[in-house]
Chains A and B, each alone.
Chain A
């Protein structure tokens, strides 16, 4: 337990110090990207990892928030108002998408979310009066909460870090809570959960809303980071990319999606500067993960670590420890 606490403190210190130890502004921006994509992946992990519902349309909701923020700013709203309205629109959209998708689970759920994502992508592409079509929407400024202008890369990084840490804490509380336990129960034995008195559909619905909230928060950070939104953001490849973050890092774990997000963003931005065929590299990495650690990087590393040190306790000693 103390080693865990120590690791947390070290990780926190490393994250806070990022602007001081990375070689330049470019890398601070990479750090911001990792953090908001990590929030996105944490949100998707609520469904993929803890609810057992694989969504291939999450980039659609991400896009709804991003476009809504951009459009509200174009209409002349201030930043706080624009963000608030965008989040409300996103939550209403998520409720509708959840009501449609939760008619099914398994493959059916994947296909419905995929279809919804494609519809949203089509709308972004064709509804030119609202979205600007292929040209997208540009945001002229970033907000300046409490007098800190987020136009500065370091300030933006710290704002993202604060929101990231809050999201991570929310996730940590969520997975230990009775509701989190109920959600994981519906993932493993939905029929049994129903017989035990749980409203399986409602539990999944609320999980969708929580997942959608994290997704939308990350989308607000994204759209202020790039100050630009185009239909590409909603494409199927974007949904698949976040799903890969979750699965490669370790679905159903707290830290897995963060590691996955870091992996994908680093390969996409930093490594792509050195290797032209970075897509190929990313694919090769995923194949290696699937072969060596099918459960994902985080649980896989833990497993290898235990094997290396032979720290895996036998059931008998574990019970004895639990008793004492």
Chain B
């Protein structure tokens, strides 16, 4: 059984076909990299997989279950988590609260209007542990507005990880990071256990190639090349549309 399967997925905005008959099969535990030039439809593909966009046709299966018509909020409960290319965090709150919200999203307690959230020990402990894991434990109570860009990237990852996803979708986790920060995030991602399947969009080829096992190259909404690291890098079409000569 595959972790994530995308079958004949199509999406058009008006006359522009942004996802054109895409097929994708990601095995459990796999590290998949999706590359492609700007406008290739990578983020759109993510939005179709997470359900934030509705496909025109085609199907998405998560762990063997057809989730094409499952609302995106339910997909989080089924084991899918994502990070955003453009950071979307809760700027008024502390780092700890951001991560707590991620955790609360999957808990029935999210409907409870009567208890004090700050006094729920297990929520606070879990959130603190998740922040320790990404190396932000020492500034857990800092307001998000006072954090650096690199720290926010790690908060994004902590929020995804605390949901214990089976399939994790990372949209450019290295974008805008310094060399040191990139190394930190890379080690962080390498430490994620194999029961989590990871699909990642990334442009920083030096870090991404090291991480990925299989690579899919998208161009104008279509899968052009797919294979293992060496195959895709060696393929002349990769050089033509993406890597350059």
Contacts and interface: CB of A to CB of B under 8 A. Distances in A.
Given A189-B88, A197-B76, A179 B113 contact: yes
A198 B119 CA distance: 21
Nearest to A188: B90
Contacts of A323: 138, 141
Nearest to A170: B113
Given A182-B104, A197-B73, A191 B88 contact: yes
B79 to A, nearest CB: 11
A177 B115 contact: yes
B101 A196 contact: yes
Contacts, number: 98
Nearest to B113: A179
B1 interface: no
Interface string B75-102: 0110000101000111110000100111
A198 B73 CA distance: 6
Contacts of B105: 193, 196-198
A185 interface: yes
Given A319-B139, A319-B142, A174 B101 contact: no
A14 interface: no
A189 B102 CA distance: 12
B101 A185 contact: yes
Contacts of B88: 189, 191-192
Nearest to A202: B111
Nearest to B146: A315
Contact of A195 (B73, B120, B142, B146): B73
B163 interface: yes
A189 B50 contact: no
B90 A196 contact: no
Contacts of B100: 181
A196 B76 contact: yes
B122 to A, nearest CB: 12
Interface residues of A, number: 29
B239 interface: no
Interface string B135-147: 0001111110010
B114 interface: yes
B85 to A, nearest CB: 13
A194 B89 CA distance: 13
B110 A198 contact: yes
B106 interface: yes
Contacts of B117: 176-178, 180-181
Contacts of A185: 90, 101
Contact of B92 (A188, A195, A198): A188
B141 A318 contact: yes
A322 B82 contact: no
Which 3 A-B pairs rank lowest in CB-CB distance, beginning with the nearest? Answer: A197-B76, A196-B105, A197-B105
Given A181-B104, A323-B141, 13 more contacts: A173-B116, A178-B107, A178-B115, A182-B101, A182-B110, A193-B105, A194-B52, A195-B82, A196-B105, A196-B163, A198-B73, A198-B110, A200-B73
14 contacts: A173-B113, A176-B116, A177-B114, A178-B112, A182-B101, A182-B110, A194-B72, A196-B76, A197-B73, A198-B105, A198-B110, A319-B138, A322-B140, A323-B138
